[in-house]
Structure 1
Amino acid sequence: MMPILILAAGAASRMRGTDKLMQDVDSQPLLARQIQIAQAVSTDVRVALPPPPHLRYDLVAQTTAHPVTVKDAAQGMGASLRTIFATLGPQDTHAMLLLGDLPDITENDLRQVQQAIRTHPDALIWRGATEDGRGGHPIIFERTLFPAFAKLLGDDGGRDIVKQAGNKVHLVPLPGTRARLDLDTPEDWAAWRATRHIT
């Protein structure tokens, strides 16, 4: 079973005191929703979290997902990627990376990207994209790329790893912009809710 690695260790500082991963989406906290759709695809879901105590641990504890503490989460996304990819073992041939803050991503989107491994087996990276071809999430990495994550520093989100894969990156277009749509500020959330007629 392919592990799904959810990044949820960020401070969400632009939310000005509220936690975007605890925002209500489809009548549940966003992070709970992300875990739910991931668990519909894989029984091995791991969630990168900031050091405890943190409310996100209570949420993850209500699921069968595995919490992974990122001790140096304040250093940025590179720390989260280093830590969570280090949990993978030799039996893991692929791993799917999913951001915790994509409110429109669906279970079917994850399945579509996963199916691309079979249809395009020569790739090393299979990546969700917008309708117009901009790379986003989820992203599946083949195991020969796993060691590169141990070298990430600061807020490096792994862009160099994707870049170095060159023509071995296969993009999977998903509807609209949901492969990239994240909401970083209260204003972003208000605008998004307005489009969904949520009050």
Structure 2
Amino acid sequence: MIAAEDTALLLLAAGQSRRFGAGPSKLDAVLEGRPLGIHVVETLAVLPFHARLAVVRRSLIDYASHGYATIVNDDPVGDMASSLRLGVRRAAEVKPQALLVVLSDMPRVTAGHIQRLLAAADGPSAIVASTDGDAPRPPAVFGCALLPLLERLSGDSGARDIIRRGKHVHAPAEELVDIDTLEQLRSLA
């Protein structure tokens, strides 16, 4: 088990939102009276992470006011792993025992699920991802020994190949939903 106090939380909030349609960032779209991109932030506020980091681009959400150090990714079009690399570099500076990677467009993630991920992490080489019984996905925990590998990732698959070989902690599909389209957002309302 790796405690939240020893874990850096990395929130990825710099995506292109291409499938969401024209207009402002999907993270600013309203779900249940709050911006989509704030749901997971508020949910995870109860856990005492070692550090909270957010890689951002164009959302109106002020993650810093929620205790996050923000890292701006001005060029997320290069590849999808660019935000991960930026966040991992900053996380390495605070020397956590583990890194928890969470997507900001996952409004139904629970603190209980994150605690189960951390409980399944067993040291510096830990790889623990979420699954609904299908493919593994974020949120995911990486032990500190994996940070150099994560910092070298490139391309559009991010850490997908890495999390396939780790432990997988089950959560209901509705808890792991990530919003890519306006239709998906409307289906949650």
In the TM superposition, 1:24-103 aligns within 5 A as 24-43=30-49, 44-50=51-57, 54-56=58-60, 58-87=61-90, 88-89=92-93, 91-103=95-107
Q: Distance in 2 between matches of 1:129 and 1:48?
A: 23
- The answer to whether the aligner puts 1:192 opposite 2:169 as a matched pair is no
In the TM superposition, 1:69-148 aligns within 5 A as 69-87=72-90, 88-89=92-93, 91-117=95-121, 124-130=126-132, 132-148=133-149
Q: Check whether the contact 2:8–2:96 (CA below 8 A) recurs between aligned residues.
A: yes
**Partner residue of 2:11?**
6
Q: Check whether the contact 1:10–1:76 (CA below 8 A) recurs between aligned residues.
A: no
Q: Check whether the contact 2:54–2:71 (CA below 8 A) recurs between aligned residues.
A: yes
SS at 1:95's partner residue?
A: strand
**Cα offset, 1:29, TM superposition:** 1.1
TM (norm. structure 1) is 0.80
Q: Which has the higher contact order (CA 8 A, sep 6+)?
A: 2
In 2 relative to 1, CA 155–134 (structure 1 residues): closer, same or farther, beyond 3 Å? closer
**Partner residue of 1:149?**
150
**Partner residue of 1:22?**
28
Q: Distance in 1 between matches of 2:48 and 2:114?
A: 10
TM (norm. structure 2) is 0.84
Q: Distance in 2 between matches of 1:76 and 1:47?
A: 18
Q: Distance in 1 between matches of 2:53 and 2:77?
A: 19
SS at 1:11's partner residue?
A: coil
Q: Percent identity?
A: 22
Amino acid at match of 2:149: A
**Cα offset, 1:91, TM superposition:** 2.6
**Cα offset, 1:133, TM superposition:** 5.0
Q: Distance in 2 between matches of 1:25 and 1:191?
A: 10
Taking only aligned residues, the RMSD between alpha carbons, in angstroms, comes to 2.2
SS at 2:99's partner residue?
A: strand
Compare 58-67 and 105-114 and name the one that shifted more. 58-67
Unaligned stretches of 5+ residues in structure 2: none
Q: Distance in 2 between matches of 1:37 and 1:153?
A: 30
